[in-house]
């Protein structure tokens, strides 16, 4: 991981982090896909494994949520936090599968929209 230098407000630091670490994160994502393909042999198997993880995480979240509803106090908070984490992981895995099957748009034209003019929108049309 490269050294990332951040200054300013939370928003500015988040933007700086995205600019500085974005290429590294993209390279790591690509390397993870290559490793998964080498291990599992095909895209279909990789997507099936990701979907299976999404389903498993979802049911882990349901189980933790049920325990949280039945518990009281700090124990309830513990189980509900576990449920929230499991649901977030499930959604992330499911989104990976969906984005592999239906790539997200990268420009207004991909959405069937015309580029909007104005100097503030030039970043979106480059």
Segment 66-75, tens digit of pLDDT:
999 999 999 9
For residue 119, being part of any structural domain is answered with no
Same domain, 49 and 94: yes
One domain for residues 27 and 16? yes
Pair 66, 23 in one domain: no
Note down the domain range covering 87: 42-105
Inside any domain, residue 93: yes
Considering its fold, how many domains does the chain have in total?
2
Mean pLDDT across the stretch 35-57? 82
Same-domain pairing of 56 and 27: no
pLDDT for res 119: 58
Q: Which residue has the tokens 């933790």?
A: 64
Q: For residue 117, is pLDDT > 70?
A: no
82 token code pair: 């576990």
> In this structure, how many other beta carbons lie within 10 angstroms of the beta carbon of residue 105?
11
Query: How far, rounded to the nearest angstrom, does the alpha carbon of residue 16 sit from its chain's CA centroid?
Result: 19
Q: Tell me: do 46 and 34 sit in the same domain.
A: no
CB atoms within 10 A of CB 79: 19
């Amino acid at each position: 991981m490269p050294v990332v230098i951040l200054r300013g407000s939370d928003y500015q630091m988040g933007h700086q982090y995205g600019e500085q670490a974005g290429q590294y994160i993209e390279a790591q994502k690509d390397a993870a896909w290559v490793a998964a393909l080498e291990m599992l042999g095909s895209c279909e198997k990789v997507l099936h494994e990701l979907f299976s993880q999404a389903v498993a995480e979802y049911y882990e979240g349901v189980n933790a949520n049920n325990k949280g509803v039945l518990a009281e106090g700090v124990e309830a908070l513990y189980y509900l936090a576990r449920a929230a984490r499991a649901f977030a992981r499930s959604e992330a895995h499911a989104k990976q599968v969906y984005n592999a099957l239906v790539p997200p748009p990268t420009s207004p034209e991909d959405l069937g929209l015309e580029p909007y003019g104005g100097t503030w929108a030039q970043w979106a049309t480059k």
